[in-house]
Amino acid sequence: MTQTPEEPITAELVTVDSCPQPVVHTDRDHELSDDAQQAIEDSIPDNTRRAYGRQWETFASWCKAESRLPLPATPKTLAQYVRHLTITPSARTGRTPAPSSIEQAIAVIRAAHKAAGYRDQPETAPALRILKGYKKQRSDSGTRKRKAPAINLDKLRALIADCDPATLAGLRDRTILILGFTMMARRSELARLHLEDVREDDEGDLTILIRSSKTDQEGDGAEVIVPRGVHNETDPVRVVRTYKEALAKRGVIAGRLLRAINQWDQITHDTMSGDAINEMVQRRAARVLPGDGLIYTAHGFRAGGAGEAYKNKAPLSAIRTQGRWADGSPQVLEYIRVVDAREENPMRGIGL
């Protein structure tokens, strides 16, 4: 077999007159105005900033007690700190932290170093080897990832019944519970709602503007439709309307929807934090739900709302949209898989 000679390629030779000059930055290139720095700070969600702040303060305090330098920390300091976390029960829960919490701590420490000019420090390989062993140890001992149980419709009704509608706090808490469930909302989303974001539309339902969320860091915003209900106690339209009317009687007609309220039923602050929302759910759950009420959190609304919608034959795409889950997120599948495992169990109805 003969080969055909390749045709010669004719092209213009590109010449380089000179090598690129070395880049020299001046002090001006490293300056950042106060308002630009503030804009960077403002781009970080408040709950993220608080969580990262707590993680760094805990690490810095441990370093001080151990006579170690937190910044810049050495790889061995980071590894020793991770080991400390894996064997030290939390004062709040009495349990050692979940691996995801330790991973967050490592990320926070690295981020603090990067912000201080110590890029790629401290080296994480030793710390991650300790964490890998910790994960295996937990798996071997039967420790599973802790998950907040779903707050289903029956549990939602029990929580709402615990709220006194004769008080402003009771009306507010009913609003939190019903919106958290029907919107499949994150507590941070609830905390950021403004009065004008929640309105009754022409169809008699609620149209709610989510200004930004975990999956919408650019702040494009999303509208969520919450249909009116059939029971007075759990009808979202009626619950929200009653609460807003009570606020208006106190002169509150603009600003945040959810307000801090003291034991005398007085508004004490213009906002209610996501942590305060979670604490309210835990407090009421401890009173009315079986078992250890403190295991219930506001996150249970996302799992419960998704599960109840799926049981009611809502398509997965609609559930994703209502809960603002990112396309491809496996989390919503985990919530509905629990429903399938029970309702479509292959052993159900075989005549045992």
Percent above pLDDT 70 for the chain: 87
Of the listed ranges 7-11, 304-308, 318-322, the least confidently predicted one is 7-11
Type of residue numbered 325? W
Cα-based torsion angle of the residue sequence 56, 62, 66, 69 in order, rounded to the nearest 10 degrees? 10
Handedness of CA 88, 90, 94, 95 (dihedral sign): negative
What is the DSSP-derived secondary structure letter of residue 30? G
Concatenating the DSSP letter of every residue in 192-225 gives T-BGGGEEE-TTSSEEEEE--BTTBTT---EEEE
Quick check: 79 pLDDT over 90? yes
The answer to whether 211 touches 219, Cβ cutoff 8 Å, is yes
Predicted model pTM: 0.69
Type of residue numbered 291? G
**Apex CA 244: angle with CA 194 and CA 240, to 5°?**
85
Percent above pLDDT 90 for the chain: 46
Of the listed ranges 158-167, 187-196, 219-228, 334-343, the least confidently predicted one is 334-343
pLDDT at 98: 86
Quick: pLDDT tens for 5-58: 556 656 565 555 556 667 777 878 777 787 877 776 666 666 667 777 888 999
Domains defined along the chain, listed by start: 43-140 (1.10.150.130), 153-341 (1.10.443.10)
Quick: pLDDT tens for 93-136: 778 888 888 999 999 999 889 888 888 889 999 999 999 999 98
Mean pLDDT score, 262-283 = 90
Q: What is the 3-state secondary structure (H, E, C) of 221-283?
A: CEEEEECCCCCCCCCHHHHHHHHHHHHHHCCCCCCECCCEECCCCCEEECCCCHHHHHHHHHH
What is the DSSP-derived secondary structure letter of residue 294? G
Find, among 141, 140, 108, the residue nearest to 122 by Cα.
108
The answer to whether 170 touches 163, Cβ cutoff 8 Å, is yes
pLDDT at 198: 94
Nearest-angstrom CA–CA distance, 111 and 131: 19
How far apart are the two ends of the chain, measured CA to CA in Å?
A: 73
pLDDT mean across residues, the chain? 85
Quick check: 333 pLDDT over 90? no
